[in-house]
Amino acid sequence: MSYESITVKPISPHIGAEIGNVNLMKPLSNVEVDDIHKAFAKHQVIFFRDQMIDHEAHKRLARLFGELHIHVGPSTESVPLPDQPEIRSLHFDENSKKVSGERWHTDQSCAPIPPLASILYLHTVPPDGGGDTMFSSMYAAYDALSDRMKEYLAGLTATHDGRRAFGPNAPITSHPVVAKHPVTGKKLLFVNASQVTHINEVPRAESDAILKFLADHFARPEWVVRFKWTPHSIAVWDNRCTHHRAIWDYHPNVRSGFRIQIKGSQPPIPAYA
């Protein structure tokens, strides 16, 4: 794939690319926007370095992907800004008892329409390379399943229970186990260890065994990329086809920044309708 205005450096064969030759502090041209969209669709998570953005630039970047999402419900690990609830602060230091996202997950998959994407900007990162984020491609994870397992999962649905992460008032929703991406049309796995409680169409013991197998499968290194943050870096990930996990290896050091999510436009599309 060719790009007219930016540089795109893949980090691994299946997922992740660093984007260069762009200044996110200023409005982007139509060509730059088109190139970023192409890179996002191809690589699922894209990274920018040395971008000292403010809140307005952060929101301007997010609006390139859609309407800004406002997370409803409690969260002990991130806090909305009082005057800009679409921006959430993530700050962890020597007083932190836990951090957000330590388990493999998809953001708010319990919602009837989960967020389309997330954009995380870190201005302060731990020394010595701590605080990495890992991303896993659900395209590659699906493609690597045996034909027999693909046939087994076809048409199944799973219950995503937000109460496990967000408390008693969080939504509970069923989504297809195998979904189809609305832009690329590729098949992907849409279950995660953080919020999925069971597969609906099979006995609970069978469901537990299949979900354990899939959770181990998602985390295989062949389709995982590990991003090493530097100050003023940005990660933009497609919440529809990736999992991610934060590594808390930096206590008592500081990791601090802001996250914006993009509102989803439709529920996950069943791959086998």
Q: What is the DSSP string of 147-159?
A: HHHHHHHTT-EEE
Is 171 found in the same domain as 143?
yes
Domain assignment of residue 108, yes or no: yes
Strand order in the sheet with 157-161: 172-176, 157-161, 196-199
Is 19 found in the same domain as 102?
yes
Is 144 found in the same domain as 75?
no
pTM metric for this prediction: 0.94
The boundaries of the domain holding residue 182 are 137-218
Tens of pLDDT, residue by residue over 88-135, are 999 999 999 888 888 899 999 999 999 999 999 999 999 988 999 999
How many whole angstroms separate alpha carbon 133 and alpha carbon 11? 14
Is 154 found in the same domain as 28?
no
Is 181 found in the same domain as 53?
no
Domain assignment of residue 69, yes or no: yes
Query: Which residues are designated catalytic?
Result: 105, 107, 244, 259
Is 95 found in the same domain as 194?
no
Tens of pLDDT, residue by residue over 146-201, are 999 999 999 999 999 988 778 788 889 999 999 999 999 999 999 998 899 999 99
How many whole angstroms separate alpha carbon 12 and alpha carbon 39? 14
Is 117 found in the same domain as 145?
no
Domain assignment of residue 167, yes or no: yes
Is 19 found in the same domain as 116?
yes
Is 131 found in the same domain as 45?
yes
Domain assignment of residue 260, yes or no: yes
Is 61 found in the same domain as 11?
yes
Domain assignment of residue 193, yes or no: yes
Q: What integer is the mean pLDDT of 210-227?
A: 96
Cα 120 to Cα 225, 237, 273, distances in angstroms: 16, 9, 34
| Number of structural domains in the chain | 2
How many other C-beta atoms lie within 10 A of the C-beta of residue 140?
A: 22
- Using the 3D structure, point to which of 179, 195, 218 is the last residue of a domain: 218
pLDDT value at 76 more than 60: no
Is 236 found in the same domain as 128?
yes
Domain assignment of residue 40, yes or no: yes
Domain assignment of residue 1, yes or no: no
Read off the CATH number of the domain in which 75 is found. 3.60.130.10
- Using the 3D structure, point to which of 179, 199, 218 is the last residue of a domain: 218
Is 58 found in the same domain as 165?
no
Domain assignment of residue 39, yes or no: yes
- Using the 3D structure, point to which of 202, 218, 234 is the last residue of a domain: 218
For residues 58 and 50, is the Cβ–Cβ distance under 8 A?
no
Tens of pLDDT, residue by residue over 63-73, are 999 999 987 65
Tens of pLDDT, residue by residue over 1-34, are 789 999 999 999 999 999 999 999 999 999 999 9
| CA 252-71-174 angle, 5° bins | 110
For residues 250 and 126, is the Cβ–Cβ distance under 8 A?
yes
In the three-class reduction of DSSP (H, G, I as helix; E, B as strand; rest coil), residue 44 is classed as coil
